[in-house]
Amino acid sequence: MLVRFDVPRTLNTLFEDFAVSESAPSTRSFPALDIAEYENETVIVAELPGLKKEDVKITFEEDVLTLSGERKPYEIPQDARVLINENRVRTFNRSIRFGHDVDANRISADLQNGMLKVVVPKAESAKPRTIEVK
């Protein structure tokens, strides 16, 4: 039996698997977030390509909003010859702590086209107000 051993390709794959493992800390967190604070609310936008709303869990506890879930694997057919396989199964967990009071009962979330938008309204006590001088 003849087995082909492609040294450069095999070593590159070995190095990539070692250098980019699931447990290695990433220089870029997943999902990428944009956070903007407005007078009455904070808006968080997260990139979640390929995820459905069932794949995402959002919790709010003790002034911390947590986005978590799992990006499911793409099923590669048995008869396919894989040339590149960079998509990885990935669980994620991102937490944001708020420095102001939040109206937790009015937090809303919407997922469209891989973009999750979470609107976190400020509590009345956290909103700016004008105080009249007498």
- Which pTM does this prediction carry? 0.69
> From CA 73, how far away is CA 59, in angstroms rounded?
24
Q: What is the pLDDT of residues 22-64, one digit of tens each?
A: 444 444 678 899 999 998 999 999 999 889 999 999 999 999 9
Query: Domain locations in the chain?
Result: 29-126
Q: What is the pLDDT of residues 99-123, one digit of tens each?
A: 889 999 999 999 999 999 999 999 8
Who wins on pLDDT, 89 or 28? Answer: 89
Q: Given this model, what pLDDT does residue 24 score? A: 45
Who wins on pLDDT, 1 or 86? Answer: 86
> From CA 2, how far away is CA 24, in angstroms rounded?
36
Give one word for 19, left, alpha or beta, with left for phi > 0 and alpha for psi -120 to 50: alpha
Class of CATH domain 29-126:
mainly beta
